[in-house]
Each structure stands twice: as C-alpha cells, then as structure tokens.
C-alpha cells in the first residue's frame, strides 16, 4: 500500500515517540512481532538526503527494536528481517 511522504513521516514519528521517547515495551513488542523492522528499514532506505530527521528516527527505532527482539520469540538479539531479494556477491 502506497501512502504519501507526509503519512510515512507521521507514522515514523508516532512509532519513534512510543518506542524511543516513552519506551513503551508493549509497543516495541507489537512492532517487533508484526515484522516492523523490515518496514522501518524500507522507510529508512527510501529516505534520501543528509540531515534527514526521519532517517535518524528510523535508525533509533532499529536500535530499540533490536533490543526488543530479545524478548520476542527468543531471537537472542537478532532482528527478524525477511526479504525475497537475492543478494549476489562478486567472486
């Protein structure tokens, strides 16, 4: 589902506020369980330009979610990141 850039920025601000600013463990757990790490990484990748506040917020979210994944499903610190992209490494 495509949304406007403003809607994406607003969503990141809300998630960042709940997870990073208020440190709500229920929200962190819910985002981690709903594969939110993948979605945050995609938003982070799409945000271009230096000094981008949304990109920095995404980075903070990844750090918090990484810690939150320890409590979700026994990931032992690994972030659940699912993708269908094949990475080809040069020889």
- Tell me the pLDDT band of 88, cut-offs 50, 70 and 90: low
Q: Decide if pLDDT at 4 tops 80.
A: yes
Of residues 83 and 65, more confidence is placed in 65
Tokens of 53: 């506040």
Note whether 59 and 51 are within 8 A (CB).
no
pLDDT, one tens digit per residue, over 16-54 is: 999 999 999 999 999 988 988 999 999 988 877 666 899
Q: Which residues contact residue 72 at a Cβ distance below 8 angstroms, ignoring those fewer than 6 apart?
A: 29, 32, 33
Of residues 14 and 81, more confidence is placed in 14
Of residues 62 and 48, more confidence is placed in 62
């Amino acid at each position: 589902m495509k949304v406007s850039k403003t809607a994406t920025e607003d969503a990141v601000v809300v998630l960042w506020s709940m997870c990073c600013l208020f440190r709500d463990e229920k929200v962190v757990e819910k985002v981690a369980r709903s594969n939110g790490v993948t979605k945050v990484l995609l938003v982070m990748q799409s945000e271009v330009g230096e000094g981008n506040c949304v990109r920095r917020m995404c980075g903070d979210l990844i750090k918090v979610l990484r810690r939150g994944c320890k409590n979700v499903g026994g990931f032992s610190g690994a972030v659940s990141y699912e993708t269908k992209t094949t990475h080809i490494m040069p020889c």
